[in-house]
Amino acid sequence: MTAWTPPAMLGVFTLFLVLPAVLPWIGGYTYLGTEVMIWAIFALGYNLLLGYTGLPAFGHGAFFGMAGYFLAVSQKWWTGGLWLPLLIGVLGTALCGAFVALFVARRRGIYFSLLTIAFGVMFWFLVFVLDTWTGGEDGLTGLLRPAIAVPGLGAVALRDNLPFYYFVYGFFVLSTVLLWRIVHSPFGQVIGAIKQSETRARAVGYDTTLYKGAVFTLSCAFAGLAGGLYSLARFGAFAEPMSLQQSGNVVLMCLIGGGFASFYGPVLGVAVFLVLRDFFSTVTDHWMLLYGLLFMAIILFLPEGILGLVQRVRRPTGFHDTGTAEAARAAETTARGSKP
């Protein structure tokens, strides 16, 4: 029986809980931890599409980025405050996701990917077309992180890096638990079935288009949460997270960490990606070259990502928790034995 908060998850939570105290000792800084958690929310939500439903969307950065604008516009000219703009970021992005889903949910494979790229580029250009609202090249700066009331601590100013780290941490924990429940729920079973055989899923009575649309929208909602937090982290909404390159980055993060092999793959992928970016850029000006080579090596030699390697050693049954390794091995031997 799947636990709702398994030991591995508690381990990840503990790690991020104590991370700010440890980071200075290993040459890191609090903001890096914040960034990792924000991108982890984005990547975990994106992996619902890529890893769990098998839908490679290549324009997801658009949703990550647009949330910042929703939040910024709301905070500057409409609602003000913190919670409402965050909520509007999530809902606005999910709504745009649902709109795009109307067009892409019927598609599969390369057609799905191409359409998501097209929409990604369209939203990117929209930022510059609507520059009276978005600030165009300059972005929307001057976002506020007002103090929030925390029971027992009183008003906590989020302006500083450390309180903001724990603010993001709260959302990271919430998102992780939520996504864990989703992938182990009946809905999670259905999207996994669609990934493995869409025809069979339809034959057993699932309107697969509707489910694919729902997953797309859900993953956009998480992109919206992450994107809103990202704009708060940088005190501004900018176009650059919406670029195709950033859309590609989230795919890479999932693949490197092992999003096809493990729930936590995207988190590890994000950490490796961002830490190496920092490390390589201090070593050489040509860090992009090193970076590219490393990723090529990972894709070539660890096609299932870093956690994929771990899983392969520990449990040869593959992606889904299908019982013990012993049972699988026994079955495999039987299967081999009974062949003519």
Partner 1 sequence: MTAILETRGLRKAFGGNVVLEDVTLAFAPNRLSAIIGPNGAGKTTCFNLLTGFLEPDRGEIRFQGRDITALPPDRRAKLGICRSFQVLNLFNDYSVLENIRVAVPALRRRGFDCWTRAGDVREAEDRAAGIIRLVGLAGREHVAARFLSYGQRRLLEIGVALAGEPQLLLMDEPTSGLGSRPMETLRELVQRLAAGLTIVVIEHDMDFVLTLCHDVTVLHRGTVIAQGTPDAIRDNREVREAYLGTLKYTKARG
Instruction: From 117, 107, 101, select the one nearest 213 (Cα to Cα).
Output: 101
Distance CA 224, CA 95 (A): 10
Looking at the DSSP bridge assignments, the partners of residue 149 are 155
Residue 236, SS3 per DSSP: strand
8 touches partner 1 by CB under 8 A:
no
Closest separation in Å from C-beta 141 to partner 1: 37
5 touches partner 1 by CB under 8 A:
no
327 touches partner 1 by CB under 8 A:
yes
Binding map of partner 1 across residues 209-228, x = CB under 8 A, - = no contact: --x--x--------------
Distance CA 32, CA 128 (A): 29
282 touches partner 1 by CB under 8 A:
no
Closest separation in Å from C-beta 169 to partner 1: 23
16 touches partner 1 by CB under 8 A:
no
193 touches partner 1 by CB under 8 A:
yes
Between residues 31 and 187, which has the closer beta carbon with respect to partner 1?
187
Closest separation in Å from C-beta 85 to partner 1: 25
- Residue ranges in 145-184 that form contacts with partner 1 under rule CB under 8 A: 181-182, 184
Inter-residue contact 133 to 72 (CB < 8 Å): no
Which segments of the chain does DSSP mark as H helices, in order?
A: 7-22, 30-47, 61-73, 83-104, 109-129, 131-134, 161-184, 186-196, 198-203, 208-233, 244-257, 265-283, 287-301, 305-314, 325-337
2 touches partner 1 by CB under 8 A:
yes
Closest separation in Å from C-beta 291 to partner 1: 32
Between residues 118 and 193, which has the closer beta carbon with respect to partner 1?
193
Instruction: From 217, 196, 161, select the one nearest 45 (Cα to Cα).
Output: 217
Closest separation in Å from C-beta 305 to partner 1: 16
297 touches partner 1 by CB under 8 A:
no
Between residues 282 and 338, which has the closer beta carbon with respect to partner 1?
338
Residue 258, SS3 per DSSP: coil
Closest separation in Å from C-beta 68 to partner 1: 26
Between residues 127 and 261, which has the closer beta carbon with respect to partner 1?
261
Residues with Cβ within 8 Å of residue 193, at least 6 apart in sequence? 200, 201, 204, 206
Inter-residue contact 59 to 244 (CB < 8 Å): yes
Both tokens of 267, joined, read 């988190």
Instruction: From 124, 121, 86, 128, select the one nearest 224 (Cα to Cα).
Output: 86
Q: Which part of the chain contacts partner 1 (CB under 8 A), choosing from 125-133, 142-150, 198-206, 303-311?
A: 198-206
Looking at the DSSP bridge assignments, the partners of residue 148 are 156
Distance CA 49, CA 168 (A): 23
192 touches partner 1 by CB under 8 A:
yes
Closest separation in Å from C-beta 336 to partner 1: 9
Closest separation in Å from C-beta 304 to partner 1: 13
- Residue ranges in 19-78 that form contacts with partner 1 under rule CB under 8 A: none
332 touches partner 1 by CB under 8 A:
yes
Closest separation in Å from C-beta 23 to partner 1: 34
Inter-residue contact 168 to 233 (CB < 8 Å): yes
Distance CA 321, CA 319 (A): 7
Q: How far is CA 44 from the centre of its chain?
A: 4
Q: Which part of the chain contacts partner 1 (CB under 8 A), choosing from 99-107, 144-152, 247-255, 331-339?
A: 331-339
Q: Which residues bind partner 1 (CB under 8 A)?
A: 1-2, 4, 181-182, 184-190, 192-193, 196-197, 199-208, 211, 214, 317-320, 322-324, 327-328, 331-332, 334-335, 338-340
